[in-house]
Amino acid sequence: MAILEPLTKEKTNFIKNIIEKDLKNNLFKNKLWAGYPAPSYKQNKNKIDKAKIRTRFPPEPNGYLHIGHAKSIFLNFSLALNYNGRCHLRFDDTNPDKENSEYVESIIKAIKWLGYSWDTDGENNLYYASDYFEYMFEFAESMIEGGYAYIDEQTQDEIKLNRGTLTEPGKNSPWRNRPIHESLSLFRDMRDGKFPNGHLVLRAKIDMSSPNINLRDPIIYRIRHIEHYRTKKKWCIYPMYNWAHPIEDALEGITHSICTLEFEDQRPFYDWTLNILYNLNKINKPFPRQYEFSKLNLTYIVTSKRKLLQLIEGNYVEGWDDPRMPTILGLCRRGYTPNSILNFCEKIPISKSESTIDYSILEQSLRDELELTAKRFMAVINPLKLIITNYPENKSEICYAPVNPHNPSDGIRKFNFCRELWINFDDFLENPTKGYFRLYPGNIVRLKYSYIIKCTKCIKDQNNNILEVHAEYIENTKSNTEGSNKFKVKGNITWVTQKYSSHANVILYDRLFNDPYPDSSGKNFLDYINDKSKVEAKIWLEEGIVLDHNDYWQFERMGYFKLDKKQTNHIPIINRIVTLKDSWKNSK
C-alpha cells in the first residue's frame, strides 16, 4: 500500500466538480422541501427548497465515531457550507442489534466538538431513520401491490445457494410468482409478529440472472424479534440497509448522497428503488444521487468498530474515549484540537483510489497548530537533582521567557532560579558518548533562560546509582544580560527549581500499535499492541503554570501536553498528546 506524503491543500475534488456542474445545470431548481422529511404526497403541497444542495452524514449508532468518520463529516458538512446547502445528521438506526442511545450521544458530542451544526436557519436537520419505519412499511406494501416485491419462504441457506455466483446466474425462488394478495397478507402477518426470526423475508423482484449479484432479488425486510432502542417493541420486522438508505435520502430531499467505495456495487439497487418508488408516487424527482469515495485508512490504527470493541472488551484500552483510541472523542481527550483534525481532513485527497495515510501526518497537523498557539513551559520527568554549589542557599533570581516565541503579544513568563534544581535524568551522563552535548563532568552548558554552568561531579550511592549532580554557575552569563554571549555552549538544558515547581501526574501516550498495518491480512491486530503506549510518570512543572482545562502546553524539548478531561484524584493528570518530533520515523 502506498503511504502518502503530506499534500498541499486540495482546491477541488471530483465531488465538488459534480456539485458545481449540477448547480450550473439548475438540477435542483424545482426541488420541493416541506421543511421536514416526507414522501412526495406531503412535499408537493409545499415550497421549493431554499437549500442549494443537501448532503447527510449517516452514522449507525453502534459505536463511537473514529478518525475515518471525521473525513466523511468534514466532506459532507463543508460541502453544505461551501454551496449554501444543508448537511443532515441522520442516525442510520434500522438495525436494532447493536445500536443504543449512548452511541447516539457520543456521535452528537463528537460532531459538535468538531464544530459542525445541523441546526441552521431555523431548520434542525437531526434525523433518525427509525422515524421512517411507518413510511418504509407503507412503501414496501406498495411495492408488493405493484408486483415489485414478494414474500419468500426459502430458508436462509436456500436463498444463499440460489443466488448464484459471479459467473453463474441465480435461480428464481419457487415463491417468486405467488399471488400479490398472498405476499401482502404474509407481510402484514410478519409485522404482526406471527412468525419467528428468519421464517420469511420480503424480497425485491428484480432479476435473478443480473450480472450484479446485488440485483438478484435482494432482501428488503426481515423478521427480528428484538427491542429497538427508540421504537422499543413496536416493530419485529426491520428493513435492510441497502433498501432503506435510498428511501431515507429521498424522504430528506438529499441531493448528493456521499458514501464510501464498498457501496459502489449497490448503486444500481439504490437507483432501482428510487425509480420504483417514484412510479408508485411515493417520492419526488430530482432523485438523490449516490457518489462514492475511498475510505480514509491510517497506519498504526484500526478503525473497524468491531475491532475497537474488541480492544475495549479485552481491556487493552479503557473505553471508547481512551486517549489511545482513534475515535474522535479519544483524540479529543488525548488533547487533539478540532482544527488539527479538520486541517488533516482537508490535506488528504478525496478520491476513488484506496490509499493509506501515514499516521505522522495527523500528528504533524497537531504540531503545526500547537507550535503557533501552545503556551511554553519547562518541565522535568525523571528528575535528577542538580545543585549549583557556588550559588547562595537563600538567593533567587527571576528569569524571563516568552509564553510563545511566535506571539510576542502572549507576553513573558517569569520564574525563579535558585541553588537546587531538577533536571531530566537523561540530560546527564557520567561518561558521555560521542556527540553528547549535555551535562557531564567538566562540560559547560546553559540552563535555559538562566546561567551557564560547569558540571563538577556527580554523587552516587553504594550501588552506583546517581543521586545528584553538582555544578558551578558562571557569573554574568544569565540569558538576556550583556554577558550572556561570553561562552559558546552546545547544550541547552531545561530545568525547574525544587523550591518553586509544582508536580502532577503525567501519562506519556504513544501509538497503540507498534506495526503500521496491524490488521492487514493474515495478522491478528491484538498481537501488535505497543506495550509502551501508556506510560505513567510524575512531572515537575515550571512555577506559575496554571492547570487550566482550556490550555495546550508545549513542555520545552518534550512535546505537547494537555490536562486529561477525566481527573480521578486530587493530583492533576496531564496527557502527552504528541512528542515534539516524530520518533517513529524510519523505525520498523
Give yes or no for residue 246 binding ligand ATP (CB under 6 A): no
Name the residue with the smallest CB distance to ligand ATP. 68
358-361 long-range contacts, Cβ below 8 Å, gap at least 24?
A: 358/3, 358/4, 358/5, 358/298, 358/299, 358/516, 359/298, 359/299, 359/300, 359/301, 359/511, 359/516, 359/584, 360/582, 360/584, 360/585, 361/4, 361/6
Selected from 37, 39, 58, 335, the binder of ligand ATP by CB under 6 A is 58
Residue nearer to Mg ion on the CB measure, 154 or 214: 214
| Cβ atoms < 10 Å from Cβ of 522 | 5
- Quote the least distance from Cβ 415 to ligand ATP, whole Å: 45
- Quote the least distance from Cβ 103 to Mg ion, whole Å: 12
Give yes or no for residue 72 binding ligand ATP (CB under 6 A): yes
Confirm if 578 and 366 have CB atoms less than 8 A apart.
Answer: yes
Give yes or no for residue 296 binding ligand ATP (CB under 6 A): yes
Give yes or no for residue 295 binding ligand ATP (CB under 6 A): yes
- Quote the least distance from Cβ 331 to ligand ATP, whole Å: 14
Stretch of residues binding ligand ATP (CB under 6 A), selected from 3-11, 66-74, 153-161, 327-335: 66-74
Selected from 37, 59, 516, 518, the binder of ligand ATP by CB under 6 A is 59
Give yes or no for residue 446 binding ligand ATP (CB under 6 A): no
For residue 98, what is the DSSP state? S
Stretch of residues binding ligand ATP (CB under 6 A), selected from 81-89, 299-307, 374-382, 574-582: 299-307
Residue nearer to ligand ATP on the CB measure, 72 or 284: 72
Task: Show the cell assigned to 222.
Answer: 426481515
Site residues (CB under 5 A) for Mg ion, limited to 59-118: 60
Residue partners of 211: CB distance under 8 A and separation at least 6: none
Task: Show the cell assigned to 63.
Answer: 459505536
303: partner contacted, choices Mg ion, ligand ATP, none (Cβ within 5-8 A by kind): ligand ATP
Within 314-381, strands assigned E span 356-357, 375-377, 379-381
- Strand 297-298 to strand 119-120: parallel, antiparallel, or no bridges (unpaired)? unpaired
Give yes or no for residue 245 binding ligand ATP (CB under 6 A): no
Name the residue with the smallest CB distance to Mg ion. 60
C-alpha radius of gyration, the chain, whole number? 31
Residue nearer to Mg ion on the CB measure, 60 or 556: 60
Within 20-108, strands assigned E span 54-57, 86-91
Give the CB-side neighbour count of residue 317, counting CA atoms within 13 A: 25
Site residues (CB under 5 A) for Mg ion, limited to 35-64: 60
| Cβ atoms < 10 Å from Cβ of 263 | 19
Residue nearer to ligand ATP on the CB measure, 59 or 559: 59
Selected from 303, 424, 450, 575, the binder of ligand ATP by CB under 6 A is 303
Residue nearer to ligand ATP on the CB measure, 219 or 309: 309
Q: Specify the amino acid at residue 213.
A: I
Give yes or no for residue 299 binding ligand ATP (CB under 6 A): no
Confirm if 451 and 480 have CB atoms less than 8 A apart.
Answer: no
- Quote the least distance from Cβ 146 to ligand ATP, whole Å: 30
Selected from 30, 44, 304, 389, the binder of ligand ATP by CB under 6 A is 304
Selected from 228, 305, 324, 438, the binder of ligand ATP by CB under 6 A is 305
Stretch of residues binding ligand ATP (CB under 6 A), selected from 25-33, 248-256, 303-311, 383-391: 303-311
- Quote the least distance from Cβ 290 to ligand ATP, whole Å: 10
Q: Where are the alpha helices (DSSP H) in 219-358?
A: 241-251, 267-279, 305-313, 328-334, 338-347
**How many angstroms separate the CA atoms of 329 and 335, rounded?**
10
413: partner contacted, choices ligand ATP, Mg ion, none (Cβ within 5-8 A by kind): none
**How many angstroms separate the CA atoms of 146 and 276, rounded?**
9
Q: What is the DSSP string of 449-500?
A: TS-EEEEEEEEE-TT--EEEEEEEE-TT--TTSGGGGSS--S-EE-EEETTT
For residue 6, what is the DSSP state? P
Give yes or no for residue 267 binding ligand ATP (CB under 6 A): no
- Quote the least distance from Cβ 55 to ligand ATP, whole Å: 10
**How many angstroms separate the CA atoms of 173 and 200, rounded?**
13
72: partner contacted, choices ligand ATP, Mg ion, none (Cβ within 5-8 A by kind): ligand ATP
Confirm if 253 and 31 have CB atoms less than 8 A apart.
Answer: yes
What is the helix (H) or strand (E) element at residue 78, kind and residue range?
helix 67-82
Selected from 69, 216, 347, 438, the binder of ligand ATP by CB under 6 A is 69
Residue nearer to ligand ATP on the CB measure, 163 or 295: 295
Closest CA to 458 of 433, 438, 428, 435: 428
- Quote the least distance from Cβ 51 to ligand ATP, whole Å: 20
Size of the site for ligand ATP (CB under 6 A): 14
Give yes or no for residue 98 binding ligand ATP (CB under 6 A): no
Confirm if 209 and 222 have CB atoms less than 8 A apart.
Answer: no
Confirm if 304 and 262 have CB atoms less than 8 A apart.
Answer: no
Residue partners of 141: CB distance under 8 A and separation at least 6: 184, 187, 188
304: partner contacted, choices Mg ion, ligand ATP, none (Cβ within 5-8 A by kind): ligand ATP
Give yes or no for residue 518 binding ligand ATP (CB under 6 A): no
Residue nearer to ligand ATP on the CB measure, 270 or 473: 270
Q: Specify the amino acid at residue 47.
A: K
Give yes or no for residue 171 binding ligand ATP (CB under 6 A): no
- Quote the least distance from Cβ 116 to ligand ATP, whole Å: 14
- Quote the least distance from Cβ 370 to ligand ATP, whole Å: 25
Residue ranges that bind Mg ion, judged by CB under 5 A? 60
Residue ranges that bind ligand ATP, judged by CB under 6 A? 58-60, 68-69, 71-72, 259-260, 295-296, 303-305
